[in-house]
A and B are shown apart, each in its own frame.
Chain A
Amino acid sequence: MELAKKVVTIKNLEYEYPDGTSALKGINLDIFEGESVALIGLNGAGKSTLLLHLNGILQSDEGDVEVLGMKVAENIREIRGKVGVVFQDPDDQLFMPTVFDDVAFGPINMGFSEEKVKEKVRMALERVNMSGHEKRAPHHMSLGEKKRVSIATVLSMEPEILILDEPTSNVDPRARRNLIELLNGLDITKIMATHDLELVSETCDRAIVMFEGKIAANGDVEEVLTDSKLLESHGLEAPVLVRLFRDVMNREYIPIRLEDVIEKPNKYKI
């Protein structure tokens, strides 16, 4: 993984909203091909703001953002086709009257032929397990379904980087499980902002803690999620499993996923 290609390079990025809120204060970050990176941090830490810089929705004069070797500001159209952003609220993401039209929206804008568009829509819906729902209207669907279709709307553009803002907010446990499986089945670079640390432990290899517009920590998921001090000092809370093994049982090895414990009971002395 370490030798892999750099797909995102951010240098000294600062951003201030028009109303004067300083949302990013000097971000330096590299993301490599195939990585799955989580951005965690309190409300207002700047996660969404940072994500919006990756496809040039927000642009700043301070600092550099390079994606797939291109300066974002100068290659907007190309970047938008290669960086798929799934927003938090599916009612924002899904703006067309039917699932088909929505999933086709990206590919049509990218100028593909009718045949190609249909093929891409079919594949994207298949990947999120929503084949056969083409004609449905978003207001007739459950939130879990809407979330999956939202992901399909960007998968149909075959992005190289998938960006998700709070993919599991508000969804029920089963829909959440489906989403996790779906995300784990996609082998492209993923960057997600979330408050769901269990999601992070199950889908990501790297976790970045943001605090007040800065990167407070950046490391392997295991490392970050088991560091209760770090998490707590930035307003977060370590997962229950970590707290159990660390604070209650005072163990040496601390698992972050239940599966770890089930797979290696000896290591964790269960």
Chain B
Amino acid sequence: MKHDFIDKYAELESIIHRLDPRIKIISFFCFILLVISTSPTKFLNFLLYFLLIFGVILVSKVPLSFVFKRSMVIIPFVLLIAIFIPFLKEGEIAGSYSFASLHLTVTYDGLIILFNVLSKSWLSVLSMLALASTTKFPELLKGFEKLGMPRVMVMIISFMYRYVFVLGDEVMRMKCARDARSFGGNSKWHIKTIGNIIGMLFIRTYERGERVYVAMVSRGFIGKIKILGDLQVKKLDLCFMLAFITFLTIIWTVL
């Protein structure tokens, strides 16, 4: 089966795709850092940040609809946490509502905080999406490793990335096998079979782990994974990073 839910569109061709992963990681993390440290009332700044990341996404040719749809995923979570702030924060009152005995007031300060939380998280998610959908996952990992992430962590994530799809297939197969043999049945029975599937999955995963280990040992593995890092920073990379960071600083300082 084919899968691409992690780094969908990472195979496209564009200047952004061709950049060194390290450069992208640094640039986008700077972006997030600056975005979250911008004071909440600088609306123009937020607009400019948005335009900057929007521009990058445009250049990368990743479909806008995809990016925006994905980025919306975060909104419900943020709302869940932040929706009460306007009601709780004290300050100048923007409006008040009464429902029976419940008396609610919304303050300007509260609204600004809500806007602040929403826009910052959304911009951060946009930038992470821009990073993830323009960089193949293995490249991303290599980038993180070169930037000093411990090798073990990189390896664990890379095994996760490699096998999450294999396991996904396995789950699908087991689900098919169950569905093919289940005719109605009550919910208790369903829950039981789900339990069985999970149990089976653990066993299969464990066995797969053993087989993979044997395959590794067969090719001379003695407990340490080494990979060749063939990343090279090119002129284009530096130009991108400098331009990107210059933009950021301009937005952040001048305005």
Q: Do A and B come from one complex?
A: yes
CA distance A104 to B214 in the complex (A): 17
Query: What A residues does B79 contact at CB under 8 A?
Result: none
Per-position contact with A for B184-211: 1 when CB-CB < 8 Å, else 0? 0000000000000000000000001001
A97–B217 contact, CB under 8 A? Answer: no
10 nearest A-B residue pairs (beta carbon) = A109-B220, A97-B138, A106-B219, A139-B165, A92-B211, A85-B218, A98-B138, A91-B166, A97-B158, A108-B226
A89–B211 contact, CB under 8 A? Answer: yes
Interface size on A, residues (CB 8 A): 36
| Partner of B212 from A80, A92, A110 at Cβ < 8 Å | A92
CA distance A261 to B3 in the complex (A): 45
CA distance A176 to B208 in the complex (A): 25
B215–A77 contact, CB under 8 A? Answer: no
Asked whether A77 and B220 contact (CB < 8 A) given A135-B136, A137-B137, A137-B138, the answer is yes
Q: Does A193 contact B (CB under 8 A)?
A: no
Query: What A residues does B165 contact at CB under 8 A?
Result: 139
A96–B136 contact, CB under 8 A? Answer: no
Query: What B residues does A110 contact at CB under 8 A?
Result: 220
Grouping DSSP codes into helix (H, G, I), strand (E, B) and loop, the A interface class, with mixed when no group exceeds half, is helix
Q: Does A140 contact B (CB under 8 A)?
A: yes
| Partner of B158 from A77, A94, A96 at Cβ < 8 Å | A96
B218–A80 contact, CB under 8 A? Answer: yes
CA distance A80 to B219 in the complex (A): 6
CB distance from B71 to the nearest CB of A (A): 24
**Known interface pairs A92-B211, A97-B162, A105-B219; 14 further A-B residue pairs with C-beta atoms within 8 A, sorted by A's residue number:** A57-B217, A85-B218, A87-B211, A92-B208, A95-B212, A95-B215, A96-B158, A97-B137, A97-B138, A97-B161, A109-B219, A137-B136, A137-B162, A140-B3
Q: Does A154 contact B (CB under 8 A)?
A: yes
Asked whether A109 and B138 contact (CB < 8 A) given A89-B211, A96-B158, A157-B219, the answer is no
| Residue with the greatest number of chain A CB neighbours at <10 A, chosen from B212, B220, B228 | B220
Q: Does A118 contact B (CB under 8 A)?
A: yes
Q: Does B159 contact A (CB under 8 A)?
A: yes
B138–A104 contact, CB under 8 A? Answer: no
CA distance A248 to B220 in the complex (A): 51
Task: Using C-beta atoms within 8 Å of the partner chain, give the interface range for chain B.
Answer: 20 to 34
CB distance from B98 to the nearest CB of A (A): 57
A140–B162 contact, CB under 8 A? Answer: no
B228–A118 contact, CB under 8 A? Answer: yes
A104–B211 contact, CB under 8 A? Answer: no
Asked whether A109 and B158 contact (CB < 8 A) given A92-B215, A97-B138, the answer is no
Query: What A residues does B159 contact at CB under 8 A?
Result: 95
| Residue with the greatest number of chain A CB neighbours at <10 A, chosen from B137, B165, B222, B227 | B227
Q: Does A153 contact B (CB under 8 A)?
A: yes
Asked whether A140 and B214 contact (CB < 8 A) given A97-B137, A98-B138, the answer is no
A139–B166 contact, CB under 8 A? Answer: yes
B220–A104 contact, CB under 8 A? Answer: no
Q: Does A93 contact B (CB under 8 A)?
A: yes
Q: Does B239 contact A (CB under 8 A)?
A: no
B212–A104 contact, CB under 8 A? Answer: no
| Residue with the greatest number of chain B CB neighbours at <10 A, chosen from A85, A97, A114, A138 | A97
Query: What B residues does A140 contact at CB under 8 A?
Result: 2-4
Q: Does B141 contact A (CB under 8 A)?
A: yes
B220–A95 contact, CB under 8 A? Answer: no
Query: What B residues does A227 contact at CB under 8 A?
Result: none
CB distance from B232 to the nearest CB of A (A): 13
CA distance A94 to B228 in the complex (A): 17
Minimum CB distance partner of B157 in chain A: A97
Q: Does B216 contact A (CB under 8 A)?
A: yes
CA distance A109 to B228 in the complex (A): 11
Asked whether A139 and B162 contact (CB < 8 A) given A92-B208, A108-B227, the answer is yes
Q: Does A81 contact B (CB under 8 A)?
A: yes
Q: Which of A102-147 contact B (CB under 8 A)?
A: 104-106, 108-110, 114, 117-118, 135, 137-140
B220–A106 contact, CB under 8 A? Answer: yes
Minimum CB distance partner of A156 in chain B: B219
**18 pairs of residues in contact across A and B, judged by CB atoms under 8 Å:** A57-B217, A80-B218, A84-B219, A91-B208, A92-B211, A92-B214, A93-B215, A95-B216, A97-B137, A101-B227, A106-B219, A108-B226, A109-B220, A109-B226, A118-B228, A135-B136, A139-B162, A154-B219
Q: Does A55 contact B (CB under 8 A)?
A: yes
Q: Does B221 contact A (CB under 8 A)?
A: yes
CA distance A55 to B216 in the complex (A): 12
CA distance A153 to B215 in the complex (A): 10
CA distance A91 to B215 in the complex (A): 10
CA distance A110 to B221 in the complex (A): 9
